[in-house]
């Protein structure tokens, strides 16, 4: 089983925020950053250092894959 660390998720979120900055009056995150932010927040709440990749939804896995391939 493959895992992703909280540091990798944070870096991927920052990558996507730089690629597509938050927009609108509500400063809504792009779809990729938003998808990654959900498991990132859960990791913070649970005190997890890493999570299995298979718990990420398809959007988050795809966003992480693009980030790691850059």
Instruction: Tell the burial category of 34 from Cβ atoms under 10 Å away from its Cβ (0-12, 13-18, 19+).
Output: middle
Question: In the predicted model, is pLDDT for residue 69 greater than 90?
Answer: yes
C-alpha atoms less than 13 angstroms from C-alpha of 67 in its C-beta half-sphere: 23
Question: In the predicted model, is pLDDT for residue 64 greater than 90?
Answer: yes
Query: Where do the structural domains in the chain lie, given as residue ranges?
Result: 3-69
CB atoms within 10 A of CB 56: 20
pTM confidence score: 0.91
Kindly report, residue by residue over 1-56, the tens digit of the pLDDT.
699 999 999 999 999 999 998 878 888 899 999 999 999 999 999 999 999 999 99
- By C-alpha distance, which of 30, 36, 67 is closest to 51? 36
Residue the block writes with tokens 């299995």: 52
């Amino acid at each position: 089983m493959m895992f992703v660390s909280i540091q990798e998720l944070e870096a991927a979120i920052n990558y996507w925020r730089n690629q597509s900055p938050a927009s609108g009056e509500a400063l809504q995150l792009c779809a990729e950053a938003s998808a990654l932010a959900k498991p990132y927040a859960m990791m913070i709440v649970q005190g997890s250092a890493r999570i299995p990749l298979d718990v990420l939804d398809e959007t988050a896995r795809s966003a992480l894959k693009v980030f790691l391939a850059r």
